[in-house]
Amino acid sequence: MVQKLSAIVLAVLICTLTAAAEKQKGITNLKDVQPAGITDKKNKNQQFDFTFDAAGMHYTCRSSHSKSVKATDFVVGSDVNYEIKGHKGKLKNTAGKQVECTVVRVERTSTSQK
């Protein structure tokens, strides 16, 4: 009985530590902004996919239907502050405009070998 309880506690501890992934923060260059999905009566705000590189990865992060985003606030080629924790992300431009998003794609950036 004690061994089962110990195994369960250990499994919960491992899952908790894995779920508490470290937050990545920094400044990066915004590579692309594209509209995603459609709007309708239920989802009135346009979603956007924000693409950027950070920590050796290429991220695509999608805004939510629940919040309005002005695409003109996030100019492709400009610097943005990013924050990623698990599948959640935040981008903030130099003017202080912020968008919360969900990471929908991650790709390891290839390093060119010369």
17-37 pLDDT tens trace: 444 568 999 999 999 999 998
* pLDDT of 9 above 70: no
Phi and psi, residue 12, nearest 5°? -65, -40
pLDDT of residue 1: 65
Whole-number Cα distances in Å, 56 to 24, 35, 52, 59, 105: 12, 25, 11, 10, 14
CB atoms within 10 A of CB 18: 9
Q: What pLDDT is attached to residue 43?
A: 87
Helix segments in the chain, DSSP class H = 2-19
Distance CA 51, CA 43 (A): 22
**pTM above the 0.85 mark?**
no
pLDDT in tens, 38-86: 888 888 899 999 999 998 999 999 999 999 999 899 999 999 999 999 9
Q: Which of 95, 36, 35, 90 is nearest to 59 (CA)?
A: 90
Confidence (pLDDT) at 91: 97
